[in-house]
């Protein structure tokens, strides 16, 4: 799993981020001034370097349906969170990192049952710990590509509204746990000798998510993702000390 991070959907914003990556990699410093040239440092990532950083994420989706012979409804999905990361370079190319963070999501989906409009919610909050192992490769002045493998463990809560067999809306409150693993490539670009911006892109990953309430009701979600998937791009700022 990758660090939690700004998260974006596949589409225009993904395309824009990939354009930024491509531009940064292919750009040559012919027109850079001396101050910028002195600020970058290909040796910033090396054995013994301490890594400290933060990632942030936010995404929102709103869907409105207008029906001439029915009900007009509006549903929404809001996700936000962030995490801090710390680690150490164990060689000039390999680093060990630990990410600790928080993530939440809120979903409302209007539903019509027996002619009545309901707005059931699904609120999820997770505290996450994710160690990772990363390999760096210097491709240009101040620019490194990397690939990392990560595992994720989480604890949290889930509040979910559901209809029972009698079409009565019931609210469940679950205590949850999660586990996952994934592989992510990305890019580190040094703004100066110590500060970098990083982009990581989720490619392959799986996760298992379980919940149980005080009455014995349970829920489980098994996921496998490949290539781009929702919230697969992470953006953060990292110091290499």
Q: What is the pLDDT of residues 17-34, one digit of tens each?
A: 444 544 444 444 433 443
| Three-class DSSP category at 31 | helix
Q: Which residue has the higher pLDDT, 71 or 195?
A: 195
The total of structural domains in the chain comes to 1
Is residue 34 included in any domain, yes or no?
no
Is residue 4 included in any domain, yes or no?
no
Is residue 3 included in any domain, yes or no?
no
Is residue 192 included in any domain, yes or no?
yes
Is residue 202 included in any domain, yes or no?
yes
Instruction: Examine the pLDDT at 75 and tell me if it is beyond 80.
Output: yes
In contact, 75 and 110? CB cutoff 8 Å:
yes
Is residue 210 included in any domain, yes or no?
yes
Dist CA 91 CA 113 (whole Å)? 60
Dist CA 239 CA 86 (whole Å)? 9
Q: What are phi and psi of 174, to 5 degrees?
A: -105, 145
Range from 2-11, 123-132, 144-153, 173-182 carrying the lowest mean pLDDT: 2-11
| Three-class DSSP category at 1 | coil
Dist CA 44 CA 103 (whole Å)? 30
For 160, the domain range is 12-27+42-240
Residue 47 sits in a domain whose CATH number is: 2.40.160.20
Residue whose structure tokens are 């490194």: 144
Residue whose structure tokens are 């799993």: 1
Dist CA 133 CA 124 (whole Å)? 28
Q: Give 232's pLDDT tier (boundaries 50, 70, 90).
A: low
Is residue 204 included in any domain, yes or no?
yes
Q: What are phi and psi of 28, to 5 degrees?
A: -105, 150
Q: H-type helices in the chain, by residue range?
A: 12-26, 34-39
Q: What is the pTM of this model?
A: 0.72
| Three-class DSSP category at 24 | helix
Q: Tell me how far apart the 2 most distant CA atoms of the chain are, in Å.
A: 73
Instruction: Examine the pLDDT at 9 and tell me if it is beyond 50.
Output: no
In contact, 170 and 162? CB cutoff 8 Å:
yes
Is residue 7 included in any domain, yes or no?
no
């Amino acid at each position: 799993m990758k660090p939690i991070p700004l998260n974006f959907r596949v589409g225009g914003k993904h395309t824009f981020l990939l354009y930024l990556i491509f531009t940064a990699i292919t750009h040559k410093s012919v027109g850079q001034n001396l101050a910028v040239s002195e600020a970058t440092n290909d040796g910033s990532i090396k054995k013994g370097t301490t890594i400290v950083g933060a990632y942030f994420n936010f995404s929102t989706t709103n869907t409105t349906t207008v029906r001439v012979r029915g009900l007009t409804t509006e549903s929404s999905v809001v996700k936000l969170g962030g995490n801090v990361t710390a680690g150490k370079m164990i060689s000039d190319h390999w680093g060990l990192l630990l990410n600790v963070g928080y993530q939440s999501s809120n979903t409302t989906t209007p539903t019509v049952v027996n002619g009545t409009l309901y707005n059931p919610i699904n609120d999820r909050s997770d505290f996450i710990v994710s160690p990772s192992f990363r390999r760096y490769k210097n491709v240009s002045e101040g620019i490194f590509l990397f690939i990392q493998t990560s595992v994720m463990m989480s604890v949290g809560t889930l509040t979910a509204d559901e209809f029972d067999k009698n079409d009565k809306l019931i609210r469940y409150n679950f205590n949850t746990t999660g586990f996952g693993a994934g592989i992510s490539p990305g890019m580190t670009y040094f703004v100066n000798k110590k500060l970098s911006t990083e982009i990581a892109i989720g490619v392959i990953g799986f996760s298992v998510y379980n919940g149980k309430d005080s009455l014995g009701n349970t829920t489980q979600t098994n996921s496998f993702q490949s290539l781009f998937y929702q919230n697969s791009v992470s953006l953060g700022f990292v110091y290499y000390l």
